[in-house]
Structure 1
Amino acid sequence: MTRRVCVIDTDPGTDDAVALWLALASPELDVRLVTVAGGNVGLGHTLRNARAIVGLAGQAVPIVAGAEGPLLGAFRSETQVHGADGLAGVALPEGPPATPGIAADAIRALLRAEVGVTLIGIGPATNLALALATEPALIDRVAEIVLMTGAWSEGNITASAEFNAWSDPEALAMLLECGRPVTLATLELTAQALVTRERIDALRAAGGGACLDATARIMSGVPPSRRFAHRGHPLHDPCAIAWLIDPTLFTHRDVHVHVECGGVARGRTVVDRWDRSGLAPNARLLDTLDAEGFFSLLTERLAALP
């Protein structure tokens, strides 16, 4: 099996934690670097959380801090979902120290050393955009960009914008126009990965170690969403990881995506699902998810971690 060399850019974040554990547990992915931005909570929390998440998995992956806020505009966290600490109040042991440096520099260094790197973005796109914008010659060394971002119907931070896209729409627009293949897991896709009490109970029943136990506790700590009649909450970021592990769990289509960068619709991703504009596609949109297969994969992989 050829392992996919990848960077995970993240802002942990409850669902980021689960996504990182899924990636680190999966032999299909060779996670060479974890870069961290402010997003769900401030950079001080997200960096500490990333260190703890990687440490609990027993992995030795460099973790490098990056942008505290977006390219333009002000930073805003989302503590109502993730809690003040970003992990729904679930305390994890202190992780290994961060690797000195700046995230964009570390991403560029890896691209200089490797050809065919997959960039996975499960937070605001700032670090990835900065890396590519400041050394465009490296763009051809990127195999694919996979992002959990955007929505084609309604948002979850404003009426029209998804949180990651809204946090730095200029950075997202840069990635969509960089010329490399981009895959999007939007809110409509991640809504199909609904965490319910029954699914948390099934996860716990699988046994496993500290990572699986922490996953169940984190999932239990996230408030059920009124968008889903309080039946549960969507597990956003692991969907982007699952696509790279088992694409047979998904259907998809090629679309053109435009990002609004100003006004009341700032952060809205205008997704042309039916080719009404006639513009050439610039992204692959993940459409449907085999939810039972997804949660089976998640449980199987996390149960194998320490």
Structure 2
Amino acid sequence: MTATLPRPVLLDCDPGTDDALALWLALAAPEIDLRLVTVAGGNVGLARTLPNALALVGLAGGRVPVVAGADRPLLGRFRDEAAVHGADGLGGVVLPPGPAATPGLAMDAIRAALRAAAPDSVTLVGLGPATNFALALAAEPALRDRVAEIVLMTGALGEGNWSAAAEFNAAMDPEALAILLACGRPVTLATLDLTAQAFVTPARIEALRAAPGGACLRAAADILASVPPSRRFGFRGVALHDPCAVAWLLAPALFTARAVAVAVVLDGPDRGRTRIDRWGRDQGAALNGRFLETLDAEGFFALLAARLGALP
């Protein structure tokens, strides 16, 4: 039997508490050839998210280039989520400073990485607003042929977590999300409906603390413990969003999925809302997305503990 080669991945993030665990999960995965990490302002502004990404890579012993990207969306400005992530983005959990950022701009680094790749080979993983990937593909549309799949933590079937209609990442840059949805490559969505099933409770945090591991696993438990329990869930815990997108690449058997037509609303009070047609009601609409419907939560948290436990 021939061994499966690691999947080339470019990962864009805005750390952010849940980004932290997702980035560590990607760094710990032998199934992933993580070629580039790019950073947007997103959750707490680029002045915080960039050093956070560098610190996360450094603590994990990663050697991947980390490049600064957009400090604002295609239109307007990012709005931070410090109430969730803390003013520093990591819930006050202090990590050792990481290595220096790789010089350059994210959109250029993404284009260079795609140019160097084989056709239909690279997976783009987006954990924040879609700005950096959209800028790269809008600047050089032919590079979409290098992309095998785009996996995004974004969107919601129903209620949002930023507005009544919109999930945070989609709301921060819906024009960028629209570019990715229209680029002609397969787009997989880990929406709020999916990530609510990755439900973090005090018991799950304690189980993570009890698992064998090093500094990354201990910091992951501290970061999760820093996130205030959500009113949306009756203050019983919180949804763990971004690691779901990475887990899809590592263990797709933990998920069920459905082909869908998806679009994003660009104006009006529902700006940033994702319109996800699961049942083919929009006659003639192209099936341009894959909607992750269900998650084996116990398997997901076991995967998270085992992989983060293997890091330094």
Q: With structure 1 as the length reference, what TM-score do the two structures score?
A: 0.99
Comparing 72-81 with 184-193, which one deviates more in the overlay? 72-81
Distance 1:295 1:270 in 2: 29
Q: Match of 2:269, SS?
A: helix
The corresponding residue for 2:291 is 285
The whole-number CA distance in structure 1 between the counterparts of 2:67 and 2:96 is 19
Counterparts of 1:60 and 1:114, CA distance in 2: 19
Say if 2:279 is the partner of 1:274: yes
Once the two structures are TM-superposed, the CA of residue 74 in structure 1 deviates from its matched residue by: 2.2
In the other structure, the counterpart of 1:263 is 268
Matched, 1:55 2:58: yes
Taking the aligned partners of 2:112 and 2:261, their CA distance within structure 1 comes to 30
Counterpart residue identity of residue 64, structure 1: V
Which residue of 292, 298, 304 maps to 1:298? 304
SS at match of 1:26: coil
Is residue 81 of structure 1 aligned with residue 84 of structure 2?
Answer: yes
1:220-235 equivalences in 2 (<5 Å): 220-235=225-240
Matching residue of 1:31: 34
Matched residues in 2 for 1:71 and 1:202: separation?
A: 41
Identical aligned residues as a percent: 70
For residues 261 and 12 of structure 1, what CA distance do their matches in structure 2 show? 25
Amino acid at match of 2:36: L
Gaps of 5+ in 2: none
What's the CA shift for 1:72? Answer: 0.6
Q: Per-residue deviation at 1:275? A: 1.0
The letter of the residue matching 1:113 is: A
Using the alignment, how far apart are the partners of 2:161 and 2:141 within structure 1?
A: 32
* Superposition deviation, residue 216 in structure 1: 0.3
Inter-partner Cα distance in structure 2 for 1:197 and 1:85: 22
Aligned residue for 1:265, secondary structure, equals coil
Match of 2:133 in 1: 128
* Residues 108-132 of structure 1 deviation map (CA, whole Å, 9 limit, x = unaligned): 0000101211100000000000000
SS at match of 1:173: helix
Q: CA deviation at 1:204?
A: 0.7
CA distance in 1, matches of 2:271, 2:286: 23
Quick one: distance in 1 between partners of 2:245 and 2:298? Answer: 16
Moved more, 170-179 or 274-283: 274-283
Whole-angstrom CA distance in 1 between matches of 2:166 and 2:109: 30
Deviation at 1:207, TM superposition (A): 2.3
Does the residue aligned with 1:183 lie in a helix, a strand or coil?
Answer: strand
Counterpart amino acid of residue 207 in structure 2: A
Secondary structure, counterpart of 2:179 in structure 1: helix
Equivalent residue, structure 1, for 2:94 = 91
Equivalent-residue separation in structure 1 for 2:302 and 2:251 (angstroms)? 12
Which residue is 2:177 aligned to?
A: 172
The residue number in structure 1 matching 2:14 is 11
Shift of residue 137, structure 1, vs aligned partner:
1.1
CA RMSD of aligned residues (A): 0.6
| Pick aligned residue for 2:192 from 177, 183, 187 | 187
Alpha-carbon distance in 1 for matches of 2:94, 2:19: 15
Aligned partners of 1:261 and 1:86: how far apart in 2? 27
Report Cα offsets for 1:132-177 as digits up to 9, x if no partner: 0100111101111000000011000000000000000000000001
Q: Deviations over 1:10-41 (max 9, x none)?
A: 00000000000001001000101000000001
Q: 2:147 aligns with which of 142, 165, 174?
A: 142
Task: For residues 53-95 of structure 1, give each alpha carbon's deviation from its aligned partner in whole angstroms, at most 9, with x where no partner exists.
Answer: 0000001110000000100122211111001100011110000
Task: Tell me how far apart the structure 2 counterparts of residues 53 and 233 of structure 1 sit (CA, whole Å).
Answer: 22
1:44 aligns to 2:44 (yes or no): no
SS in structure 1 opposite 2:280?
A: coil
Give me the whole-angstrom Cα distance separating, in 1, the residues matched to 2:77 and 2:103: 25
Deviation at 1:280, TM superposition (A): 1.8
Distance 1:155 1:301 in 2: 30
Aligned residues: 306
